[in-house]
Amino acid sequence: MNNGPKALYNGPTTCDITDIKDHVVDLPEGEMQHRRFEKEGIADVLVELAKAKTGALTQAGVAFEVVERIEMRSARLAVIRKKKAEAKKLYEVLDETEANEEDAREGDIALVARTAQTASKHVDPSLAALFEKTMKYYSQIGDKAAATRRRNLKAAAEAAARTADKANADPS
């Protein structure tokens, strides 16, 4: 079903992670649950650590390199998050494009099936055999809906029969 005009995507069409490729990992299934994640207040921590490089680190016995790693990882996280947002948008538009293309293809198949059905009824009955799979494919949803209606009618009739049986069995 077409719900209006679709806008062509004009954003980035690639997400290049070459600049961080040496740090990209693929964790085993379930391994994410064992990771520690950033908490509220990280910005304050980074400011504090940057100030501590002027002397407090040495007093506390913390190696200067540890804070440098924290700063480097923080910078890399900013890049990763930017790339992740780009990839997420690409995934979103690809998902939407897939749905749009699939819908359009299904519409074209419906057009062929309906035309073949009409032609086989009014022009040449042998045409039905030439488009048998297409017409069967097209009619799947209708067939399923009809089966559901039959099942629902049967269930309603059975429920009505049970109600009638109860009413007949309980003469109070």
Q: How far apart, in whole angstroms, are the C-alpha atoms of residue 5 and residue 144?
A: 30
pTM score, whole prediction: 0.68
Low-confidence ranges of the chain (pLDDT < 70): 1-3, 170-172
Quote the tokens at residue 50.
């940057």
Burial pattern 38-55, b for ≥16 Cβ within 10 A else e, equals eeeeeeeeeeebeebeee
Indicate whether 51 belongs to any domain.
Answer: yes
Contacts of 119 (CB under 8 A, 6+ apart): 127
Asked if residue 18 belongs to a domain, the reply is: no
Within 13 Å of residue 86, how many CA atoms lie on the same side as its CB?
14
Percent of the chain with pLDDT over 90: 71
In a domain, 81, yes or no: yes
**Helix %, strand %, coil % of the chain (to 5):** 75, 0, 25
119 and 131 Cβ atoms separated by less than 8 Å: no
Burial class (CB in 10 A: 0-12, 13-18, 19+), 119: middle
Domain presence at residue 106: yes
How much is the pLDDT for 1?
Answer: 56
Residue 135 domain-assigned (yes or no): yes
Residue 77 falls inside a structural domain? yes
CA R_g for the chain: 32
pLDDT at 171: 62
| Count of CB atoms situated within 10 Å of the CB of 116 | 19
Among 102, 139, 134, smallest CA distance to 116 is for 134
Asked if the structure places residue 141 within a domain, the reply is yes
Residue 54 located in a structural domain = yes
Find the domain containing 89 and state its range.
36-167
Number of domains in the chain: 1
